Amino acid sequence: MKFKLIVTFFFVFLGSSLFAQIPGLERVEPAFWWVGMKDPKLQLLIHGNNIAASSVKLNYPGVKLTEVHKVENPNYLFLDLEIAPSAKPGSFPIVFSASGQQNLQFKYELKARNLAANRAQGVTSKDLIYLLMPDRFSNGDKSNDVVKGMEETTLNRDSIYQRHGGDIQGLMNHLGYLKDLGVTAVWMTPEIENNQPHASYHGYAVTDYYKIDPRFGTNELYKAYVEKCHAMGLKVIKDLVHNHIGTESWLIKDMPMKDWVHQWPKYTNSNFRDAAVMDPHASFIDKKIMLDGWFDHSMADMNESNPYVQNYLTQNHIWWVEYTGLDGFRLDTYPYNDAAYMADWAKKVKAEFPHFSIYGETLVWSVANQAYFTQGNTVNRGFDTQLPGVTDGQIKDAINEALNGKNGWTDGVNRLYSIVAQDFLYQDATRNVIFLDNHDMSRFYSVVGEDFNKYKAGMALLLTMRGIPQMYYGDEILMKNFSNPDGLVRLDFPGGWPGDQVNKFTAADRTEKENEAFNYVQKLANYRKNSTALQTGKLMQYIPQNSVYVYFRYDRQKTVMVVYNSNETPSAITTDRFTERTAGFTKALNVMTGEQLNSISNLGLPAKSVTILELK
């Protein structure tokens, strides 16, 4: 949608002030809340035709209506409530009155918080994340494939841009597959409503913040999904988009105020240059376009300096955690957000859920650029961002270079060594999410030229390196393709649909090579699940020599030695230079082959391979 149409929406709704009647309320958000929250303040968004003409009253012990805000659009009111610690769970009417009209009442409910130990437990370096796109993973409920009345009602699995019918029930049907693989946390791309006319499957153009997309399921089903995951020992990550909103959202078609989103004289894209945010020499306009420019014609840029926007987004995200008990947030397009607001947002989320995990997507061009956005860098920012970790694209690029590049002073495997050496820039690099690919980039198996040795080496580096490892759906069965166009890396998981000719969820339908890949990942992932050294142990690395890179993961219980031979031919090394970590050890177990080594003084290394040794 063109920007000029949105400006038109704004001026059209101003005309609604001519109406005197109070029809039914269209929205009260959040529709319910909880007692016992750390923050006693709550701001309700009320939406209805000319609702601003109403006076508002409520009466409930422990709940005080402190202020009623009228804004530019008379179809909105914002109510400030204060909920005392003494308030009890229960319901009460919020009464809207207008002269000469019948009163309207909304029954508002305050619920008791669920304080179970397995809720909002956080995702850490002990976990392995599995990322999937619900529309492309599995169709478990064909009745919601097409929902009448929505903007996009086509279903075409032959198109990489149209919806394919995957849903939350489909994922729930295959949680056992993920558990068996060794996964401990599941991240879906946004499952929130995206009622857009085109390519609404990806989820990044939200149109209703409080509603699961009906083509994926319902709010109740999503809650049941989180509960089932927790019962199986799996954690859940929710993907959030602070930066932008779908232009078909009701909040855009009838905006509360003109500056709900960033307005420009004509349509203006972000320049996508994160350096402008941190550059001490940057021009004002470059920084403004980076932060306030739109992500796409169909994705309006939210004005996060607007206090009503801030309250709305923060409360919505807290609402989803308390409602479902999910365990972590992945924050889309993090560098494009208002930094001061995001710091305040993170403080408020952490206050309610102390163990909850947060990491931001930062697809930027250096370690310094990534670290700039993380918490603890107060010298550079002047304040603390409160962002524990980021998606570590620099490790991803370095692993690819280590596998594909020719060795030089900072090339080949030396790139990986030098990137890890810059961990001093982070408060804690183990909170970063490390990965080989995702839904926005070429699949890993294709990046390494479908070289199976490189594939295994990459998976081994991913699952033994510091940080929180994340896999992309289908990597374990050698799904491939390049990201131009993006849809090619978002193909359906074979077997996820009734009638699929093959079912890659089962070993019987996988090829010999696919089973070898699956079994390799499964064995290492489950070993990692039981190895505190790989989960939370320290890392010590050695400067690569002769194109061989060695690092150790260790704690009081165990020491694991990881050796990557990046040569195209077999190599051999002596281990005397590693005595700082090998002293006292004389034997080892090859984790992947099961071979027992009675001596570790000399090691033979296959070409383009990672050898993982548990020292004895």
> Is 265 in contact with 280 (CB distance < 8 Å)?
no
Distance separating alpha carbons of residues 347 and 461, to the nearest angstrom: 33
361 is catalytic: yes
309 and 434 both lie in a single domain: yes
pLDDT of residue 379: 84
Chain center to CA of 247: 22
Residue 282, classed as helix, strand or coil, is: coil
Confidence of residue 482 (pLDDT cuts 50, 70, 90): very high
Domain range for 228:
129-530
240 and 296 both lie in a single domain: yes
177 found inside a domain: yes
pLDDT of residue 289: 98
Q: Choosing from 135, 152, 208, 332, which is the catalytic residue? A: 332
pLDDT at 12 over 50: no
Q: What percent of the chain has pLDDT over 70?
A: 96
Distance separating alpha carbons of residues 309 and 259, to the nearest angstrom: 9
* pLDDT tens for each residue of 77-104: 999 999 999 999 999 999 999 987 889 9
Domain end, chosen from 530, 560, 589, is at 530
* Residue-by-residue DSSP string for 139-151: ---GGGSS-TTSS
Average pLDDT (425-432) is: 98
Number of other residues whose CB lies within 10 A of the CB of residue 38:
12
201 found inside a domain: yes
16 found inside a domain: yes
Number of other residues whose CB lies within 10 A of the CB of residue 354:
10
Q: Choosing from 135, 254, 292, 361, which is the catalytic residue? A: 361
pLDDT at 16 over 60: no
pLDDT of residue 7: 34
pLDDT at 13 over 60: no
Distance separating alpha carbons of residues 411 and 340, to the nearest angstrom: 37
44 and 92 both lie in a single domain: yes
124 found inside a domain: no
526 and 542 both lie in a single domain: no
pLDDT of residue 23: 55
pLDDT of residue 21: 37
Domain end, chosen from 477, 510, 530, is at 530
97 and 155 both lie in a single domain: no
pLDDT at 10 over 50: no
The total number of structural domains in the chain stands at 3
Which strand ranges, in their side-by-side order, compose the sheet holding 104-111?
A: 32-34, 104-111, 90-97, 55-58
Amino acid in the structure at residue 181: L
Confidence of residue 386 (pLDDT cuts 50, 70, 90): very high
Domain end, chosen from 515, 530, 545, is at 530
361 and 297 both lie in a single domain: yes
121 found inside a domain: no
330 and 219 both lie in a single domain: yes
Average pLDDT (11-28) is: 50
Q: Which residue has the tokens 């926007």?
A: 309
> Is 414 in contact with 544 (CB distance < 8 Å)?
yes
492 and 564 both lie in a single domain: no
* Average pLDDT, rounded, for the chain: 95
pLDDT of residue 173: 98
> What's the whole-model pTM score?
0.95
550 and 501 both lie in a single domain: no
> Is 175 in contact with 138 (CB distance < 8 Å)?
no
pLDDT of residue 5: 33
Task: At 502, list the tokens.
Answer: 């093959």
Distance separating alpha carbons of residues 513 and 519, to the nearest angstrom: 10
* pLDDT tens for each residue of 550-608: 999 999 999 999 999 999 999 999 999 999 999 999 999 999 999 999 999 999 999 99
Instruction: Give the CATH number, domain containing residue 76.
Output: 2.60.40.10
Number of other residues whose CB lies within 10 A of the CB of residue 485:
11
> Is 457 in contact with 436 (CB distance < 8 Å)?
no
Instruction: Give the CATH number, domain containing residue 544.
Output: 2.60.40.1180
pLDDT of residue 9: 35
524 and 559 both lie in a single domain: no
Instruction: Give the CATH number, domain containing residue 420.
Output: 3.20.20.80
116 found inside a domain: no
pLDDT of residue 19: 30
* pLDDT tens for each residue of 392-401: 999 999 999 9
* pLDDT tens for each residue of 187-234: 999 999 999 999 899 999 999 999 999 999 999 999 999 999 999 999
* pLDDT tens for each residue of 295-342: 999 999 999 999 999 999 999 999 999 999 999 999 999 999 999 999
377 and 506 both lie in a single domain: yes
118 found inside a domain: no
Exposed/middle/buried for residue 596 (C-beta within 10 Å: 0-12, 13-18, 19+): exposed
> Is 241 in contact with 190 (CB distance < 8 Å)?
yes
122 found inside a domain: no
Chain center to CA of 257: 29
235 and 336 both lie in a single domain: yes
pLDDT at 344 over 80: yes
191 is catalytic: no
Bridge partner list, 105: 95
Which strand ranges, in their side-by-side order, compose the sheet holding 538-545?
A: 538-545, 548-554, 559-565, 609-615, 588-590, 596-597
